[in-house]
Structure 1
Amino acid sequence: METTGYIHSIDSFGSVDGPGVRFVTFLQGCHMRCRYCHNPDTWKLAGNRADACPQSGDPASAASGCNYKEMTPSALLKQALRYKRYWGKEGGITVSGGEPLLQLDFMTELFRLAKENGVGTVLDTAGQPFTRTEPFFSKLSSLMENTDLVMLDLKHIDPEKHRALTGHTNENILDFARYLNEIGKPIWVRHVLVPGVTDDEENLRGIRAFLDTLSNVKKVEVLPYHTLGIYKWESLGIPYTLKDVDPPTAESVKRAEEILGCQK
């Protein structure tokens, strides 16, 4: 019986989630609670769990902030292939979230089928579920066999400040980056620049020092903090603690890019 994935939403023509034009799938479910998250409606887990969100169509779905559907890997790939002629040489599919590493079985089968059909694959992840224990580690290794590129969010270099920002420390996330380096998997690193939270020089230079220990980093991107997702927090009744924080200035972004070694 084919596994199913819990799909929050789809962007058929994504242009910022990997190289080229991409079919971007956002999965439902995330353990992190980033204070600046612009998709808090992807947090609640799906599936056969007591705390799972109701599926789309259930009257409780909208009230809970959930809006997902189940799809098999083959059905999702079939939908993606409708747009293949627009992708060019660099495009393909990207799976984001939520957190796609919470649905490893689905991801592994989807990327296997994608490679069988000559489709480029990108995993967009925060890395939080990573562990070298089983069965997760073996499943992740299988997924990496058919993953062309990993886009990894590094939210803060300090473990406790990372916990204050996301609800989790970052030791396993940094170990995930080391693992990807060990297997030679290309990565793009993203860092959200939040004034007063992640833009201090100690954090930026700490991230840069860590990245300098890796040989697989192909690109570093600074993502300026924005407030476009606040309405989602308000509609879900979740207090938004960064409401008084303004987006970073162009000068602040440029400085961060210089420290992190971003290349245009």
Structure 2
Amino acid sequence: MLALAKSPETAAMNQLREKNNLSTTARWALSSAFAATGKSEIAKQIINGAPTAIQTYRELSYTYGSELRDQAMILENLVLTGNSNAAIQVAQEVSQKLSSGSWYGTQSVAYGLMAMAKFAGKNQLGGEFSFTYNHNGKGNTLKSTAAIAQVTLPAKSATNSFSIKNNGKTPLFVRLILRGQPVVGQLNDKAVASNLNMSVQYKTTKGAPLDPARLTQGTDFIAEITISNPGSLGKKL
């Protein structure tokens, strides 16, 4: 905070820099502090060899940290130090977490949004961008001044090939969206649960257990549906 306010405690920062037992997050945070004061070379030395991947965790007290918050701090550092290639990868991971629907604390979401805003500000579109794509041997070039360009690619066979080349200096982010309807039995009708568990009990109108496979048309029955959140923050619905 002091570094961002242009009043850095340089002596304390240098003392912290000499410690060999700093956590990964602390290294990235200290590096950002040096970068904010214009000491980019020192900032890069501190994070030399530091990982950008953070194991999933939730801290429900003290610093209220999470892997999203820590990766957002890393992304902010990569933007500050001008490491564009690494920043793109981390930005994609942060974006996926923000849009995943998973629960994150206010601090984590705020860090994530601020880091993405700084990343986007550093990679603003400048006029026209152009790229060439090749689909199953057929090449096409597309130019646009909009933020997003969409191309519909028909998939008429089981095997398809696709490649893309950026013709300009503006970074491109490619997303492949597949749409279709699976044939009957393709998914093996497996039950899938994501962050929620659901159980169903079938009973007669008098409360006795009932096998749904033996139901005949017109039979009255009761279906008791229980939905629960297996996470530590969830409540039974």
TM-score (norm 1): 0.22
* Larger relative contact order, structure 1 or 2 (CA cutoff 8 Å, min sep 6): 1
**Which has the larger Rg?**
2
The TM-score with structure 2 as length reference comes to: 0.24
